[in-house]
Amino acid sequence: KVKPQLEEKEGKTFDVFTAVEFKTQVVAGTNYFIKVHVGNDEFMHLRVFRSLPHESKSLSLHSYQSSKTKHDELAFF
């Protein structure tokens, strides 16, 4: 659900978009920190927010970090 949001922010499309690792952080909803393989040796770290169920909002891409590698540690940001 966040792939189109990232593609819009980056101004390009990703043929490969595979989550390989994630962590969660509970706040007033849930932050998901996701390491995504976007092709070749390129990875991106995404911060995705899911609101509480009663708010009925969809997932939103909060922020992201590009130019990551497979071995970069997925950390809260």
Average pLDDT over residues 15-22: 94
Range of the domain at 23: 1-69
pTM: 0.85
Whether 75 maps to a domain, the answer reads: no
State the total domains in the chain: 1
* Residue 23, C-beta contacts closer than 8 angstroms, at least 6 positions apart: 32, 33, 74, 76
Residue 56's pLDDT is what?
81
In the structure, what pLDDT confidence band is assigned to residue 55 with cuts at 50, 70 and 90?
Answer: confident
Sign of CA dihedral 72, 22, 64, 10: positive
Residue 77 domain flag: no
The answer to whether residue 74 sits within a structural domain is no
- Report the mean per-residue pLDDT for the chain: 92
How many angstroms separate the CA atoms of 72 and 58, rounded? 28
Does the pLDDT value for residue 58 go beyond 90?
Answer: no
Q: Does the pLDDT at position 12 exceed 90?
A: yes
pLDDT of residue 9: 93
